[in-house]
A and B are shown apart, each in its own frame.
Chain A
Amino acid sequence: MDLTGILEIARLTDVGQKRDHNEDAVAGDVETGLLVLADGMGGYKAGEVASEIAVLTILAELKESLPNQLPGSIDVTSGMQMESVLLRDAVAKANANIYHVSQTQPQCSGMGTTLVVALFTNDRVLVGHIGDSRMYRLRGDDFSQITEDHSLLQEQINFGLITPEQARHSVNKNLVTRALGVDPEVDLELHEYQVLPGDLFLICSDGLTDLVEDEDIYLTLTALNANLEVAAHHLVQLANDNGGNDNISVILARAALPFPAGRSWRKKILNWLK
């Protein structure tokens, strides 16, 4: 749904201090209420091919399919907003596109990408993710991670083999157990969350979270709440000041007002009657 004037988005991607090119890709579109972040991996520049295909495909697919979907309907099989079906289709298409290129272009063989995609509709946000890029939410003083990494470390934590604190210092931070575009099919983890006015969402690549403690992210978002652009810059700067070992990408988004379904629909009718 068109969230112009409601959703405020700041996004930033940075090559960091050690890499010579940026394999992350980010997009944010107020008109569709869509945020996409992808952290590509594999091969000489193939990572950036994968992340770019992911972002562009998902944007294009949803720009095409969303206008035909009236906000507010429910998909009975999942109980989520109907847009969740379109989101899954778009991600499946992105997966197929990346997989096809990696199978047909030898220099792209084995490439893949992580993904976080968020779609705001009807006072809710649909959050899909694959791999170790994350989404956090700041609501009042509560700062929580709302995606769970698909990584070897996270699985070790879930099995009780290591504690989250040990995970912070582990050397195998880089092993993801799920990625977009490496197999003919992909398993998108998709959830739906209520959005309250003022909620601030952060989507980021591991270039941020590997180098900046959650507490420092929280402090930054709280202190710089008034200016999302400055907050995004500051987060990237923190990662760079701590070494900038990887590409760093952040998307910040905040809904200033409620956006229930029907409002825009009613507005459209009113406009039409005028």
Chain B
Amino acid sequence: MAKLIYSLDGAFLGEFPLEKDRLTIGRRPSNDIHIDNLAISGEHATVSKSGGDVVLEDLESTNGTVVNGKAIKKHVMQHGDVIELGKYQLKFVNEAFLQDKLGTVTAVDYEKTMIIRPGSVHAAPPVPAAPVAEVPAEELTSPPVEAPPAVEQAPAVLPSWARPPSAAAAPAPNATTPAQLPVAHIQVLNGPSTGKELPLIKALTTLGKPGVQVAVLTRRPHGYFVTHVEGDRHPVVNGQSVGAQAHQLNDHDIIEIAGVKMEFYFVGG
């Protein structure tokens, strides 16, 4: 959450969290940020959220709006910007930015395996709330290059094991989404099972005769593949042997495995 810290000549007067999409600044009491000073216009400026940004806009005020010493009409706020209104200042603090700076939550950092000294975990009782202080950040061993993220990660990582069980589970950062691939079928074209259809719903479908020739059809996010598994002969696609490597299938390909011909095709889509 971002906020504006309100001060007069450096003396803290209060703070305004940016809860609403639009805050108004002015001398009239109807303003969200009401500054009772003659240097301020009745409706002086607005602070509004736009996408991920916070935008400050001067409302044609008499004395103008100054950010970091410069008069502005419209300005995209950056963390640390100071809005000057007469003798008053509003400092913009973006906590999301601060968290980024501290390296608390970046997916890539989480993937790096780190070592916790055994003692640090056993020393902490399995009681919520206690362990945070008992596992000092320094106990996370980490190489010099990566030391800053490792140490700063500690506050973000460790409290969660002190939280109640329900809070400990967060959505997996890498949760896999189901592949948006049209479903494919194969239909047998010869032999006793002629006409039989098989939808390829599973990630893996094995075809053929064990001990003679087996191939596997794999459903992957970007398509279907046929791969040789066992036997002296390799799968044949459209009359050509595909060898031992995985081979991507196209709509209406004819696959031949252990003497059985099958047509591969997409349904609907």
Which residues from chain A sit less than 8 Å from chain B, CB to CB?
Answer: 18, 39, 41-44, 46, 106-112, 114, 131-132, 152, 155-156, 159-163, 165-166, 168-179, 182, 187, 206, 210-211, 216, 219-220, 223-224, 226-227, 230, 233-234, 237-238, 241-243, 245-246
Contact = CB atoms under 8 A, between A and B. Distances in A.
Contact of A162 (B110, B169, B216): B169
Interface stretch (B50-58, B60-68, B136-144, B252-260): B136-144
B160 A112 contact: no
B111 A237 contact: no
Contacts of A111: 143
10 contacts: A43-B146, A112-B141, A152-B116, A175-B140, A176-B115, A223-B204, A226-B210, A226-B214, A234-B204, A234-B216
Contact of B161 (A39, A112, A156): A156
B161 A172 contact: yes
Please provide the 9 A-B residue pairs with the shortest distance between their CB atoms, ordered closest to farther: A43-B143, A166-B169, A159-B126, A226-B230, A42-B143, A41-B113, A179-B115, A169-B172, A227-B229
How would you classify the secondary structure of chain A's contact residues: helix, strand, loop or mixed? loop
B108 interface: yes
B191 interface: no
Interface string B188-223: 000000000000001111100010001010101100
A224 B204 contact: yes
B94 interface: no
Contacts of A42: 115, 141-143, 146
Interface residues of B, number: 48
A103 to B, nearest CB: 13
Contacts of B126: 159-161
A173 B114 contact: no
A175 B165 CA distance: 18
A173 B110 contact: yes
Given A161-B126, A161-B168, A223-B204, 8 more contacts: A42-B142, A109-B143, A163-B165, A170-B170, A172-B110, A219-B203, A233-B227, A245-B174
B173 interface: yes
B228 interface: yes
How would you classify the secondary structure of chain B's contact residues: helix, strand, loop or mixed? mixed
Contacts of B210: 226
Contacts of B112: 41, 174
Nearest to A107: B144
A176 B114 contact: yes
Contacts of B146: 42-43
B171 interface: yes
B3 to A, nearest CB: 26
A109 B202 CA distance: 46
B72 interface: no
A114 B218 contact: no
B118 interface: yes
B67 to A, nearest CB: 37
Contacts of A156: 161, 168
Interface string B228-269: 111000000000000000100000000000000000000000
A230 B228 contact: yes
Given A43-B144, A161-B168, A175 B173 contact: no
A171 B169 CA distance: 8
Contacts of A178: 115, 118
B157 A175 contact: yes
Interface in B168-184: 168-176
Given A110-B144, A234-B218, A241-B221, A170 B204 contact: no
A152 B174 contact: no
Contacts of A233: 227, 246
Contact of A109 (B144, B169, B170): B144
Given A43-B146, A230-B227, A242 B176 contact: yes
Contacts of A237: 218, 220
B98 interface: no
A220 B204 contact: yes
A187 to B, nearest CB: 8
A109 B141 CA distance: 9
B168 A243 contact: no
A168 B175 CA distance: 10
B206 A155 contact: no
Contacts of A172: 110, 157, 160-161
B133 interface: no
B121 interface: yes
Contacts of A163: 165
B1 interface: no
Contacts of B108: 18
Contacts of B205: 223
B160 A110 contact: no
B197 to A, nearest CB: 20
B38 interface: no
